[in-house]
Amino acid sequence: MSVETDRLDQRRDHQAAGTKGPILEEFSYDDAIVRMFSLATVVWAVVALLVGLVVALELVLPQLSAGLEFLAFGRIRPLHTNAAIFAFAGNAVFAAVYYSTQRLCKARMFSDLLSRLHFWGWQAIIVAAAATLPFGITQSKEYAELEWPIDLAIAVVWLGFFGVNFFMTLLRRRERHLYVALWFYIATIVTVTVLHVFNNLVVPLGLFKSIPIYAGVQDAFMQWWYAHNAVAFFLTTPFLGLMYYFLPKAAERPVFSYKLSIVHFWSLVFLYIWAGPHHLHYTALPEWASTLGMVFSVMLWMPSWGGMINGFLTLRGAYHRLTTDPILKFFVVGITFYGMSTFEGPMLSVKSVNALSHYTDWTIAHVHGGALGWNGFMTFGMLYWLLPRIFQTKLWSTKLAEWHFWIGLMGILLYIVPIYIAGLTQGLMWRALDSGGRLANPDFVETVQRLLPFYWLRVLGGAAYFGGVVMLLVNFVATWRTQPAKYEEPVYAAPALGKTYAEPCQQTPQMDGVAPWGEKLAGWASLDWHRRWEGLPVRFTVWVVIAVVVASLFEIIPTFLIRANVPTIASVRPYTPLELAGRDIYVAEGCYNCHSQMIRPILAETKRYGEYSKPGEFIYDHPFQWGSRRIGPDLAREGGRQSALWHLRHFEDPEALTPGSIMPEYAWLLERELNFGTIPDRVQAAAFLGAPYSDEELASAEELAREQARQIGEEIVKQGGPMGMEDKMVVAMVAYLQRLGTDLFAPPPGAAPEAPPAESEGAPTELPETETPVAASENDTDTAQLSTRSSSDD
């Protein structure tokens, strides 16, 4: 801040002396914060990839977790995703923002203190994530798993430290126009704030547990609105900002088309926010919402490829340097993966493709193409460009950077190609029917076993990519060691922005004989107002917020209105206290990472799992547990399929009951005692959120839970199992699993036991005939499998 103070003094001196003309102000950039975020990027890349490698290994060697609960796949997979997104990519984004914003604004960051608070706050959040997720402290929403105290910290650090620092820098800039990279940063900051706040509205139940205020369909909709846009506004828009700044720098030529970048920005911001529902095709989400998500996803092709083409053409005339410059190599491959991912994403959003790809490893391959190729390689390109500049020395080894590039590229291909094949294999095996119309692969584990060779190849690919990042770490440290004893702090000069500045704009055509409103319209059509916005960060930000919020509300409000239209099912009752406790264990163990709870109205699915899921079945599900992939089978209709003892033995040793299973052991569920004392608060919270428990049930929640646990314990003993299970965690899990999907077929309260379930409010009625899955003929599986739901479901 001392340089800033100096320049203010200098300005006063100039004014006192009556100097004419623009007064140059002197300032320096804060590169120390860029060094800090760059180091954090590399360190967390190593951690995230190492955890990813362990996760990948656990899928082929499930015994690797050694029965240790904090190493179980369901607990550390979220650690991998959070570390990759928020620690690795997040710190890379911050390094890019802090370096480029200062130079594009010709101003030091507003506050060095806020920069440091941002840095240390963010690292503390990452450490808090690493300290909670392996211990089952999770909200179970993908990429939003962190519990509410950490969510509050994220809001403070993101908006209070980072956002304030960024926007105040914009306000104190010395460059009139906001370059397009800054637009992308603005969109990132405001949208992530909105997404984070609305997806994390919860009722706290102590420091380490909360329950979302949304349930079932609404919760799923809100979560995927968040998750899709987390990809859009945390992994796409800031990296596009990075691309628009660092690519011209590395290529030493301006961006190919600034006009195209304007269309790219606004189209992307406006379209992306609508696309989330494509993650929920064929689920209990309303048909119109998922169709809207699909249409807008397909339209995303246009701006995405516009941006990709703009990136490639920025390198025109510099392609000859590709042979010798690893930085440009990283950028070219990064942009190529951006193009591939943004082609594939819309394709996967098309319903017929999604019917095959959803829940399979195809999605995992798609995500890793984007994360490793686009985010990873753009970050590496930026870091190799930054290192000599922020450390004021030469890059230690360009040769090692070249090696990093090639081994990293090989790693990506070795990862994604087998996983694409695995995904297609899975999807086709799940839906395959034999000539008699029966499932060709009725045992789920058959499909799992078929994938194991591909999973091994993924481990190899991941290891290669990890090896590349270790090379980066070596290069980083070695370059840092050759830094000068004292960093030079260059001083720059630029005139302050005048308050009366008016950018030259096009003349409104003179129109004789035209009505005044016509002239005004012509003036508006010249869009000088937009040119003015581009120099007004506050107004520009407000319009970005409006674009994002309006687009969100268009989807969110109608979806929440359908709460009144979700067909309630008379037989669907709130969970019992013990089932609620079991559900919390299910959430804590991260079972949703491998098991879905959503049977789509597709013939092969209804044949494999039973009646397709109805929106009314999830009205007490806080949070929803639909999941997004099936490493194991769907559990939506698991209730009553197996005995209590089977579940107990399965938790103890899955492979013993299902040879070939890759599910880890959950033996601790048989050893740990269930904390019955917390159950009453949990039931109260459910009641607070609308579950209709009676006063008696609320008053005696613990006793009810103990009684149900005793019954299950007795059942286990009768079936030949061990005694003394009635106070163990496993009975709660058994209670929950045995309840799943059974309400639909249970008699409604007060009805005869044989009565069919009702789909509407009031008296029970028979299920509409159209809800019966459509049978497929031998040669017509593709079309017949996509049986339609009745309109009442929407």
Q: Give the strand pairing for 210-212 and 24-27.
A: unpaired
Nearest approach, Cβ of 270 to another protein (angstroms)?
A: 5
Q: Which is nearer to another protein, 183 or 380 (CB)?
A: 183
The minimum distance between CB 409 and another protein, in angstroms, equals: 26
Q: CB neighbours (10 Å) of residue 625?
A: 22
Give the residue with the Cβ less far from another protein, 181 or 348.
181
Contacts to another protein by CB under 8 A:
24, 26, 100, 103-104, 106, 175, 177, 179-181, 244-246, 248-249, 252-260, 262-263, 266-267, 270-271, 274, 286, 288-289, 291-292, 295-296, 299, 488, 490-494, 503, 506, 525-527, 530-531, 547, 550-551, 554-555, 557-559, 561-562, 564-565
Q: Where are the alpha helices (DSSP H) in 145-236?
A: 148-155, 164-171, 180-199, 216-234
Tokens of 629: 């992939």
Nearest Cα to 698, choosing from 680, 685, 686, 675? 680
Q: Which is nearer to another protein, 134 or 346 (CB)?
A: 346
CB of residue 71 vs another protein: minimum separation in angstroms? 45
- Check if the beta carbon of residue 569 is closer than 8 Å to that of residue 745: no
Residue nearer to another protein on the CB measure, 182 or 591 = 182
Q: H-helix or E-strand containing 203?
A: strand 202-204
Q: Which is nearer to another protein, 70 or 258 (CB)?
A: 258
Please give the single-letter amino acid code of residue 295.
V
What token pair was written down for 235? 């992994």
Q: How far apart are CA 93 and CA 86, in angstroms?
A: 10
Our CB check for another protein shows the closer of 288 and 403 to be 288
How far, in Å, CA of 340 to CA of 786, rounded? 28
Question: DSSP character for 159?
Answer: I
Q: Which residues contact 570 (CB under 8 A, 6 or more apart)?
A: 748, 749, 751, 757, 758, 762, 763, 764
Confirm if 80 and 55 have CB atoms less than 8 A apart. yes
Q: What minimum distance in Å lies between the beta carbon of 658 and another protein?
A: 43
- Which residue's CB is nearer to another protein, number 655 or number 794? 794
Q: Which residues contact 589 (CB under 8 A, 6 or more apart)?
A: 69, 72, 74, 75, 136, 666
Distance CA 39, CA 95 (A): 9
In terms of Cα–Cα distance, which of 220, 362, 237, 214 is closest to 277?
220
Q: At its nearest, how many Å lie between another protein and the CB of residue 567?
A: 12
Q: How far is the CB of 400 from another protein (least distance, A)?
A: 27
Output the smallest distance, CB 267 to another protein, in A: 6
Task: Write down the least CB distance from residue 551 to another protein, Å.
Answer: 7
Q: Which 8-state DSSP code applies to residue 83?
A: I
Q: Which residues contact 230 (CB under 8 A, 6 or more apart)?
A: 85, 143, 144, 192, 195
**Nearest residue (CB) to another protein, 470 versus 522:** 522
**Nearest 5°: CA angle at 521, between 516 and 527?**
140
| CB 266, min distance to another protein, A | 4
Work out how close the CB of 761 gets to another protein at its nearest, in angstroms, rounded to a whole number: 11
Q: What is the DSSP letter of 86?
A: I
Host H or E run for residue 495: strand 492-495
Question: Taking the complex as a whole, how short is the minimal distance between the CB of residue 793 and another protein, in angstroms?
Answer: 14
CB nearer to another protein: give 296 or 624. Answer: 296
CA 581 – CA 705 distance, rounded (Å): 9
Would you say 42 or 255 has its CB closer to another protein? Answer: 255
Q: Which is nearer to another protein, 303 or 601 (CB)?
A: 303
Q: Quickly list DSSP for 264-295.
A: HHHHHHHHHTT-GGGGGTTSSS-HHHHHHHHH
> For residues 267 and 642, which CB has a smaller minimum distance to another protein in the complex?
267
Smallest gap, in angstroms, from Cβ of residue 532 to another protein?
12
